[in-house]
Amino acid sequence: MTSATAGLAHDIAIVGGGAAGVLVAIQLLRQARTPLRIALLDPQATLAQGVAYATPYPEHVLNVPAQKMSALPDQPEDFLDFVAGEDPEQRARLAPAFLERRRYGDYLRTRLSEAMQTSVASLEHVQQSAVALHRQPQGLRLQLQDGGSLDCAQLVLAVGNRSRPLPARGASSLAPGALTGAWDFEAVRAIPQDASLCIVGSGLSMVDAVLSFVATGHRGHIQVLSRHGWRPQPHAKTAPIDFDPKQLLDLGLRARLHVLRTTARHEMAAGRPWQGVMETLRPHGQLLWSTLSQADQRRFLRHLVRVWDVHRHRIASEVHAQMQTLIDSGQLRMHRGRLDAVMQSGRCVRVAAVTREGRDLHFDVDHVINATGVELRVPTMRNALLTRMLGEGLAQPGPHGIGVATGPQGQVLDAQGHLQDDVIALGSLRVGDLWESTAIPELRVQAEAAARVLLAPPDAGH
């Protein structure tokens, strides 16, 4: 920190109080050696929720076993310590378990509170949204939603995830309550049990919605529509396999895919689950992405991203079994097609789609659920701060128009391509550069690195 920060209200401001923002706050508090003033901006009264951990319902579970969910890179079993303590039987039982997501939010808030109590730095939760950023002669000024401002020397952008709008003509003209976002957990649960439904999207958000319908004893038919018709695959018990992911680094996308498919077939022929291949790849995701050519990255995003997602972002085997039971009973049907339009038709909604073969597909349902997932393109994120930053040259879109462009430690690049060491991004904003950038194993490492950069002496190299 420079001496110029002495007159500023805060040394560091963090925009976003979900998991990513709280992880950065924890690291700053843990690493601080001087009495820094940190502001955490989020309009929600409760921190560490965001999209993933905002659900209060027990049916929504983590997609990763407890033993792999530590928030602290240097303490790999910290979440397990939180939920199980030192009891050996409890630890053995809970380590492989997929626990309720709401418990993870409790865990993050507890670790944040502990860090606040022991740190020489101080943290203030400012219940405001930031809508603009201005460079001042001696620092940064955030313009706030209520018309006020907050001055700081350094800024962290941890804005989290926003849902995609429903990609259909007529969505804005539907009757109130006819269209529900999958992340609006209370509204999803409030849908009548006998209502007929169409869920648009077949990824993890769809799974959350279906689990809520199972929990409420839903009896109506559920149609699931997505372009690919695939759904997340289950986790399986795996052991290390004889495969070195580094052999892929010099290969193009097509050759990599061939090697992975061949290896997966070999594993299954030997009686081992294909999931072992994905587990072996898991720690190398960012390196695999960065060593693809720009052209191959585009091909991946255009043709392979969905098949990757359903195999990479897996769900608990028990959750997968619940989904399969609904499919086997005929209550839930998967459809492959491109959504075209939604139209109010009396008390029903007519959903119009087109299959890959060009055949028209129609459903008349009582409710439509938008489960199309995370919006990755900043211009359509509906985030006032990021929109202004792009417009004023304080940021530029990331590779392939995804997120924002960042340097090696998350420093945001301005419109001229200059690294801004006083503005750091992490999480979903770095997806274009890193691809694997939204799960806890990546977020905890990014948060630790961001704190290190922000707290480094002014003459230290990054």
Number of folded domains in the chain? 3
Does residue 445 register a pLDDT over 80?
A: yes
Is residue 421, in this structure, part of any structural domain at all?
Answer: yes
Same-domain status, 12 and 119: yes
Same-domain status, 321 and 446: no
Contact 248, 262 (CB under 8 A): no
Same-domain status, 121 and 224: no
Same-domain status, 28 and 107: yes
Is residue 85, in this structure, part of any structural domain at all?
Answer: no
Confidence of residue 1 (pLDDT cuts 50, 70, 90): very low
Is residue 293, in this structure, part of any structural domain at all?
Answer: yes
Q: To which H or E segment does residue 181 belong?
A: strand 179-181
SS3 26: helix
**What confidence tens digit (pLDDT) does each residue in 15-42 have?**
999 999 999 999 999 999 999 999 999 9
Per the structure, the complete domain to which residue 189 belongs is given by 171-233+315-370
Is residue 68, in this structure, part of any structural domain at all?
Answer: no
Same-domain status, 194 and 259: no
Does residue 3 register a pLDDT over 50?
A: no
**What confidence tens digit (pLDDT) does each residue in 210-267 have?**
999 999 999 999 999 999 999 999 999 998 899 999 999 999 999 999 999 999 999 9
Same-domain status, 304 and 324: no
Confidence of residue 460 (pLDDT cuts 50, 70, 90): low
Q: Of 291, 312, 333, which closes a domain?
A: 312
**pLDDT at position 459:** 64
Q: What separation in angstroms does the CA of 54 have from each of 7, 45, 105, 158?
A: 36, 12, 8, 16
**What confidence tens digit (pLDDT) does each residue in 145-191 have?**
999 999 999 999 999 888 899 989 999 999 988 999 999 999 999 99
Same-domain status, 357 and 262: no
Average per-residue pLDDT in the chain?
94
Q: Which of 447, 236, 230 is nearest to 335 (CA)?
A: 230
Same-domain status, 333 and 299: no
Same-domain status, 43 and 131: yes
pLDDT over 90 for what percent of the chain?
A: 90
Does residue 423 register a pLDDT over 50?
A: yes
Same-domain status, 130 and 53: yes
**What confidence tens digit (pLDDT) does each residue in 357-371 have?**
999 999 999 999 999
**What confidence tens digit (pLDDT) does each residue in 98-154 have?**
999 999 999 999 999 999 999 999 999 999 999 999 999 889 999 999 999 999 999
Contact 193, 219 (CB under 8 A): yes
Confidence of residue 50 (pLDDT cuts 50, 70, 90): confident
Same-domain status, 197 and 330: yes
SS3 labels along the chain:
CCHHHHHCCEEEEEECCCHHHHHHHHHHHHHCCCCCEEEEECCCCCCCCCCCCCCCCCCCECCCCHHHCCCCCCCCCHHHHHHHCCCHHHHHHHCCCCCEHHHHHHHHHHHHHHHHHHCCCEEEEECCCEEEEEEECCEEEEEECCCCEEEEEEEEECCCCCECCCCCECHHHCCCCCEEECCCHHHHHCCCCCCCEEEECCCHHHHHHHHHHHHCCCCCCEEEEECCCCCCCECCCCCCCCCCHHHHCCCCHHHHHHHHHHHHHHHHHCCCCCHHHHHHHHHHHHHHHHCCCHHHHHHHHHHHHHHHHHHHCCECHHHHHHHHHHHHHCCEEEEECEEEEEEEECCEEEEEEECCCCCEEEEEECEEEECCCECCCHHHCCCHHHHHHHHCCCCCECHHHCCECECCCCEEECCCCCEEEEEEECHHHHHHHHCCCCCHHHHHHHHHHHHHHHHCCCCCCC
- Which CATH number goes with the domain that contains 227? 3.50.50.60
Q: Of 288, 312, 336, which closes a domain?
A: 312
Same-domain status, 360 and 380: no
Does residue 4 register a pLDDT over 80?
A: no
Among 46-55, 148-157, 283-292, 347-356, which is the least confidently predicted range? Answer: 46-55
Does residue 328 register a pLDDT over 50?
A: yes
**pLDDT at position 379:** 87
Tell me how many helices (H) and strands (E) the chain has. 15, 16
